[in-house]
Amino acid sequence: MGAPTTPYGAAVHLFDPFAPEPDAGHYPDLVLCPHCRRDVPAGPRWVTWCEGCGWNALVGAPEPATSGPSWASRWTARVRVRAARRVHAELLAGGGTGSPWPRRAAVAVAVVVLALTVVQVGLVLLWVVRGSGFWHWPLAVLLVLLLAAVLRGLVPPSLERGRGAGPDELSPDDAPALHALVRDVADLVGVVPPRRLRLSTQDNAWVSRELYGRHVDLTLGLVLWGRLSWDARLALLGHELGHCLPRGGGHRAVHAAGLVLRGWLRVLWPSGYDVAVMRYRSRWDRSGGLIGGPVLVWLATVLQRLAAVPALLALVLLDRLEASASQRAEYAADVAAARVAGTPGAVALLSGLVDPRGWLTSVSSALRRDEDVWTALAVAGRRPARETARLRRIARDETVRVDASHPPTALRIDLLERLPRTGPAATMTPERLAAVDREVEGLLRTRRRALTDRLLESWV
């Protein structure tokens, strides 16, 4: 089929959603590899690299995921990678669901955390109702505010609407084809379709699960959607909806306890705190330097962090107990992605996600030439085979993960390639995907500016 023309030019990804892009035209020049002196293809849009000696091949690879901001995140990262290796081996050996004991222990910890939370809420309410004396009201207000800040994560997302500029909700009337596609993907994965579909301008996509019900909301970030080929997009929908598969008994309690503990850490160990302290200190230094000021601030920081230690330890413990289950859920979501988009689609998604710089370089050079943002993203999604080969090299690196919660990408790809290969689901026809494309292009009208601004921000 031909490429439908849109008000913004030809949508380049519509020719055939599943055909690989040939290299021709992408690398018009040849340059000499500075290491092994062989000729390598070069072009303006994509990284120039040498397949002989590997020169430049890993440019833009994500940082090793173990370099966290604190000992806790480094330790957690190590524990998760170990769990990811173990579960990978189990799944390849046809293993079942793993031992039930870590989950039972996690539920026990979660019950203690939630019970303590109920006691805390009860004590604060008691103080509000029964307290007396000069300190009654100031302290009551302070405690209620503190608890509200800590427990904010437990508020259902539906009640949070209207707070700031969130992603836009897409009604089935706005985007009937996209809604129908998401419903069909949910059917293929075997989960309840999301209740709401949202569109943001981010380079991300996620499902937000309701803590108290069965519903999930699916948010698609346009930067990510726009830069993925169609097979990778289907895999993305499959992976995200795969996160709605049952997670085993007690998962909800563990999830709720995690939200409470993270709430405490947000209040007691805010990451912006050091910055505030530094500013405060430099003001004292400039005003002639009263040693008491900074010392008091540091003392307050130390006390605050000491208070945070129980929450931090409980969270690290929960993470340890849930490590296998969380990595297993990620692999299950990958398998769901392959069921929808086929094995090549799921692998295309995983390789595409290890590429934080390559697509940005491609898009930024296009935007500098005043090209349209959506076309530029689509071109970045249709990467030539040579760039795909480079990304596969990055993905094969053991330390590369898309983020702290996912298994190493190399293990995810390895698992998908060793399981029986599948093709894209029969209902995902090019005509149907083209209809969704036209719909999304229509929805872009009001978001084109925001999208360009976000991209300009991210490479400054």
The binding site for Zn ion (CB under 5 A) comprises: 33, 35-36, 50, 52-53, 55, 330, 333
Nearest distance, CB of residue 229 and Zn ion, angstroms: 19
Nearest distance, CB of residue 35 and Zn ion, angstroms: 4
Cα dihedral 398→202→340→334 (10° resolution): 30
In the complex with Zn ion, the residue whose CB is nearer, 186 or 363, is 186
- 3-class SS at 32? strand
**Six-digit token string for 287:** 């005003």
In the complex with Zn ion, the residue whose CB is nearer, 53 or 114, is 53
- Count CB neighbours of 404 within 10 A: 13
In the complex with Zn ion, the residue whose CB is nearer, 333 or 347, is 333
> Are the CB atoms for 150 and 263 separated by under 8 Å?
yes
Round to whole Å and give the CA distance between 361 and 45.
7
In the complex with Zn ion, the residue whose CB is nearer, 52 or 213, is 52
In the complex with Zn ion, the residue whose CB is nearer, 35 or 283, is 35
**Six-digit token string for 52:** 């002989």
**Six-digit token string for 80:** 């998760």
Nearest distance, CB of residue 40 and Zn ion, angstroms: 7
In the complex with Zn ion, the residue whose CB is nearer, 236 or 377, is 236
Characterize the bridge pairing of strands 196-200 and 216-221: parallel
Least Cα distance to 219 among 245, 194, 238 occurs for 194
Nearest distance, CB of residue 303 and Zn ion, angstroms: 37
> Are the CB atoms for 247 and 103 separated by under 8 Å?
no
Nearest distance, CB of residue 412 and Zn ion, angstroms: 9
Least Cα distance to 189 among 242, 243, 246, 248 occurs for 242
> Are the CB atoms for 345 and 234 separated by under 8 Å?
yes
Q: Is 304 exposed, middle or buried (0-12, 13-18, 19+ CB in 10 A)?
A: middle
> Are the CB atoms for 377 and 49 separated by under 8 Å?
no
In the complex with Zn ion, the residue whose CB is nearer, 109 or 232, is 232
* Sign, CA torsion 173/213/337/185: negative
Nearest distance, CB of residue 285 and Zn ion, angstroms: 46
Nearest distance, CB of residue 317 and Zn ion, angstroms: 23
In the complex with Zn ion, the residue whose CB is nearer, 21 or 330, is 330
Nearest distance, CB of residue 240 and Zn ion, angstroms: 7
Round to whole Å and give the CA distance between 412 and 84.
9
In the complex with Zn ion, the residue whose CB is nearer, 330 or 387, is 330
DSSP for residue 46: S
Nearest distance, CB of residue 49 and Zn ion, angstroms: 8
